[in-house]
Structure 1
Amino acid sequence: MFLHVFATVGKCLVVFSVVFIAFALSFHVLFRAPSYSVSLLLKL
C-alpha cells in the first residue's frame, strides 16, 4: 500500500514539475528585458 501511494505521489510530482517549468519558461520569455541594441537597429 505504501509503495502504491508513493508511486502515485511521484507521478504527480513529475507532472506538476513539468507544468511548473513550462510556465516559468514561458513567463521568462514574455517578461525578459528588451534588448535595446536590436530595437535600435530595427528603427534604422
Structure 2
Amino acid sequence: MEQGQKNNEFYEDCTKYFEFLRKKGTVDYEFEDEYYFTMPAISNH
C-alpha cells in the first residue's frame, strides 16, 4: 500500500513539473523520455 502512495506522489510531482515547463514554454525531453519509460512499469504493480 505504501508503494502505491509513493507512486501517486511521484505522478503528482511529475504532473506539476510538466505544467511548470508548459507555462515557461520549455520542454525537458530527457525527463519526458524517462517518465514515459518508467510510468508503465510503475503502473503495472
Q: What's the TM-score, normalizing by structure 2?
A: 0.50
Q: Could you tell me which residue of structure 2 aligns to residue 4 of structure 1?
A: 4
Deviation >4 Å, runs of 4+ = none
The alignment covers a number of residue pairs equal to 26
Percent identity between matched residues is: 8
Counterpart residue identity of residue 8, structure 2: T
Q: What amino acid is aligned across from residue 3 of structure 1 in structure 2? A: Q
Gaps of at least 5 residues in structure 1 are 27-44
Q: Report which structure shows greater RCO (CA 8 Å, sep ≥6).
A: 2
Return 5+ residue gaps in structure 2 as ranges: 27-45
Cα deviation, 1:1-44, whole Å, max 9, x if unaligned, reads: 11010000011011110000110227xxxxxxxxxxxxxxxxxx
Structure label with greater radius of gyration: 1
